[in-house]
A and B are shown apart, each in its own frame.
Chain A
Amino acid sequence: MMREITCREAVREALREELQRDEDVFLIGEDIGFYGGTNKVTEGLWQEFGPERIMDTPISEAAIIGAALGAAAVGMRPVAEIMFVDFIGVCMDQIANQAAKLRYMTGGKVTLPLTIRTPGGAGRSAAAQHSQSLEAWLIHTPGLLVVMPSTPYDTKGLLKAAIREDNPVVFIENKMLYNTKGPVPEGEYVIPLGKADIKREGRDVTVVATSRMVYFALEAAAQLAAEGIECEIVDPRTLVPLDKEAILESVAKTGRLVVVHEAPERGGFGAEVAAIVVNEAFDYLDAPIQRVCSKNTPMPFSPRLERFITPQVEDIIAAVRTVMG
């Protein structure tokens, strides 16, 4: 039996291994060291690697990303933490106008081995400024790579790849998954960026789901299987680069597509996937594509409203039924 660890432990293991492997790797962020991190992800690393490599910062997101980016530009390999993805609003200039474009603007003169880790997602009634899924802001910015893992196995392998990557990567964890367990081998492994994973095979409907929605989709698929509807769940794992082939291949098999993400529907990743599939696999489609996403509102505080706004298992089941006709 393979051991099981949580996503939190998976992140920590990846960080520890990369810190051990490469002296140029260091962590920078708010309360990640002495305090052990808001989500306790980095707990123990400060004791193990010391304050020079696990660097606590003031509450200054723009300064954090700027410092990481500058160090990366001259050859270090920093991993910055933004405590909640919502706070990228505070440092979006450094991310989108600086990190994403520096290489291009300098005609390829600079390489930015920079990783930004940050948790997103709703589910804790943390309201409008602590619950967002902001991946669309990032995938819309050429120059950034964007990773959104769901399982502990993927989290560990992809984070190691992100840290070794020579381009800026935004690595979006999900706060509701930190305690989620899954099998992770003892030995070292790296999952290349840009490879989707089929989380469940099925012949009837392709369900592309990201992050926590992978679990919701799996639950929906289990219920639908009882009625004889077989869903194929494709977890892209990285949104940029995107494993289009895996999605297209699955749609070629099933002829039906549902895209599920927690971010609001409008202008979201689902629209991008739908456009790709319509352009490149139109002839395979037997039904209009369905999107299951959050409603186009900010995230409300009340648990009832939060649940209403965000996609639920029932919504995925309903969408699958719709495409099944």
Chain B
Amino acid sequence: MTKEELVLLHKTMLQIRHFEHEVAKAFLAGRIPGFLHSSVGQEAVAVGVCSALREDDYVVSTHRGHGHVLAKGADLKAMMAEIYGKVTGCCKGKGGSMHIADFDRGIVGANGIVGGGIPIANGVALAAKKRKNGQVVACFFGDGASNQGTFHEALNLASIWDLPVVFVAENNMYGMGTSQRRHQKVENIADRAAAYKIPGAVVDGNDVLAVREATLAACDRARRGEGPTLLECKTYRHYGHFVGDPGLYREPGELEAWMERDPLILFRRYLEKQGVPAAALDELEAQVIEEVREAVDFAHRSDEPAEETALEDVYAPTEAGRRAIW
């Protein structure tokens, strides 16, 4: 990769980091409704995976999905406005944080149901395979989701049909307050790949280049028609399960140890070693902060949706769909 490309990876990680911090602040100040799951600490997974995708590839995301969709190119302002519940949001204020989608950018959608997206990824991949256009689907899900039936059913189906899916198990060590140790006996989710006779690999999820390399290999395989891969990215969330969760279930010292392996710190160190001047990185960060601030301003100034809009978008406007509204 060129230096510019490397710096771009860093920029996207910074975008996610500052985006998440800003929404968390706004949430705690009562400006954002609903609840929020922050991906701070997991940026290298989102960026490593999405940087390996083509523009016309797809992602299927989760309740902790801000990073995935930002890395896939979602518009900062439209996303922020959605999280604020505004009419200018990418889903007109109907979805919110857990339901961000942008089909024009290959973002098939976040999901409020744990494990709900995994089978959907197969369908998107099936369409790509039938159309023979070489598209790949990156399907994100958590360690907790890997215990849902949908995970097992979908991996088996993708396996027998050689579907072009990269299953990305984002193992942040917890499903809500339950540590991975308490919810499954396998140490590596990737080991489950063997049950479906597909490749499985464990990756350092805080190393953006490692994630990218592994995803590139999985995408190559998928585009060659050889089928899915299960990538497990080991990582950690810095906030609690939701913003406001004190995280009392963490082991003492655990968060601190992971903070030292903060993916942004690690990658910045790497970039500086590659000769990118610290001043340039500082300037980049200042620029990102400004962009995020503008998105917050935009969201803040935008209008709430008009009441009648609640009745729209239930059905496509077919004859039957129109008649179904009463």
B70 CB to closest chain A CB, in angstroms? Answer: 19
Q: Which residues of A contact B85 (CB under 8 A)?
A: 125, 301-304
**Cβ-based interface call for A308 (8 A):** yes
- A305–B115 contact, CB under 8 A? no
Q: Which residues of B contact A90 (CB under 8 A)?
A: 113, 115, 148-149
- A35–B178 contact, CB under 8 A? yes
Q: Which residues of B contact A34 (CB under 8 A)?
A: 177-178, 182, 249
Q: Which residues of B contact A308 (CB under 8 A)?
A: 307, 310
- The B21-51 residues at the A interface (CB cut-off 8 A) are 33-35
**Cβ-based interface call for B114 (8 A):** yes
- A38–B176 contact, CB under 8 A? yes
When C-beta atoms are compared, the residue in chain A nearest to B325 turns out to be A296
**Cβ-based interface call for B164 (8 A):** no
- The B172-228 residues at the A interface (CB cut-off 8 A) are 175-178, 182-184
Q: Which residues of B contact A62 (CB under 8 A)?
A: 149
B152 CB to closest chain A CB, in angstroms? Answer: 10
- Assuming the contacts A59-B144, A297-B314, A302-B305, asked whether A129 and B113 have C-beta atoms less than 8 A apart, the reply is yes
Question: Of B11-19, B93-101, B122-130, B264-272, which stretch is located at the interface?
Answer: B93-101
**In the bound complex, CA of A301 to CA of B90 (Å):** 13
Q: Which residues of A contact B111 (CB under 8 A)?
A: 129
**In the bound complex, CA of A304 to CA of B86 (Å):** 10
**Cβ-based interface call for A18 (8 A):** no
- B182–A305 contact, CB under 8 A? no
Instruction: From B93, B116, B183, give the contact of A58 (CB < 8 A).
Output: B183
**Cβ-based interface call for A309 (8 A):** yes
**Cβ-based interface call for B133 (8 A):** no
**Cβ-based interface call for A87 (8 A):** yes
Chain A: interface residue total (CB-CB under 8 A)? 36
**Cβ-based interface call for A128 (8 A):** yes
Which of B95, B178, B184 has the most C-beta atoms of chain A within 10 angstroms of its own C-beta?
B178
B125 CB to closest chain A CB, in angstroms? Answer: 22
Instruction: From A126, A129, A304, give the contact of B305 (CB < 8 A).
Output: A304
Q: Which residues of B contact A127 (CB under 8 A)?
A: 34, 94-96, 98-99, 112
- A60–B148 contact, CB under 8 A? yes
**In the bound complex, CA of A12 to CA of B145 (Å):** 28
Chain B interface (Cβ < 8 Å from any Cβ of A): 33-35, 85-86, 91, 93-96, 98-99, 111-116, 144-145, 147-149, 175-178, 182-184, 249, 304-305, 307, 309-311, 314, 325-326
Residue contacts A-B, CB under 8 angstroms, 9 given: A59-B144, A59-B147, A60-B148, A126-B34, A296-B325, A301-B85, A301-B91, A303-B304, A305-B305
Report the 7 A-B pairs with minimum CB-CB distance, sorted nearest first.
A35-B177, A301-B96, A129-B112, A125-B33, A58-B147, A302-B93, A302-B85
Besides the contacts A34-B182, A125-B34, what 16 more A-B pairs have beta carbons closer than 8 Å? A62-B149, A86-B113, A89-B113, A124-B34, A127-B98, A129-B116, A130-B98, A266-B326, A297-B310, A300-B310, A301-B33, A301-B34, A301-B85, A301-B99, A302-B85, A303-B85
Chain A interface (Cβ < 8 Å from any Cβ of B): 30-31, 34-35, 38, 56, 58-63, 86-87, 89-90, 124-130, 266, 295-298, 300-305, 308-309
